[in-house]
Amino acid sequence: MKGIFPASCRLLGYVLLLLSVFVPLLMYMFGQVNDGNLLYVKLGMKLVIWISLFMVFLAKMKDENEEAFAIRRKAMVISLYLWGIYYVGVLLNAAYGGNLQEADNSVGIVYMVICVFCKEFLMQKAKIEKNFRQK
């Protein structure tokens, strides 16, 4: 899986991710969030989180090669397994608590967050292994 966004989108994705977390809090503190627009604030926040996570995950690396493609692919596979375990856990917890609506809250965003974490971890791991092989 090749990166389709320029390398600068990775940093921009992290900035958008931080903004998507703190801007709604600031809006709430200044009284801009009320019952009438809470749904739109939540939807906007989720949309910005999705966009920023895809920007981070699909941004090209500075030294893009087959190893980077393999790491991105491996991150997707690992995160898919972790997401499956998480989703089954959420379903069991919701069934135990009697709240089945809880199971469909932001589960796709959790998957993309796990994807980004796995990719970042694997990229750092590959960089460290490469440094140790050179010495």
Report the predicted TM-score, pTM, of the whole model to 2 decimal places.
0.63
Q: Which domain holds residue 37?
A: 1-60
Last residue of a domain, one of 60, 81, 98: 60
Residues 74 and 100 in one domain: yes
Residue 69 near residue 2, CB atoms below 8 Å: yes
Considering the domain architecture, whether residues 10 and 34 belong to the same structural domain is answered as yes
The answer on 66 and 55 residing in a single domain is no
Total of domains in the chain: 2
Quick one: 49 and 66 in the same domain?
A: no
What does each of the 135 residues of the chain score in pLDDT, given as a tens digit?
Answer: 667 788 888 899 999 999 998 999 999 999 998 888 888 888 888 888 888 888 888 887 776 677 777 777 788 778 778 877 887 787 788 778 877 666 566 677 777 788 888 888 888 888 898 888 876
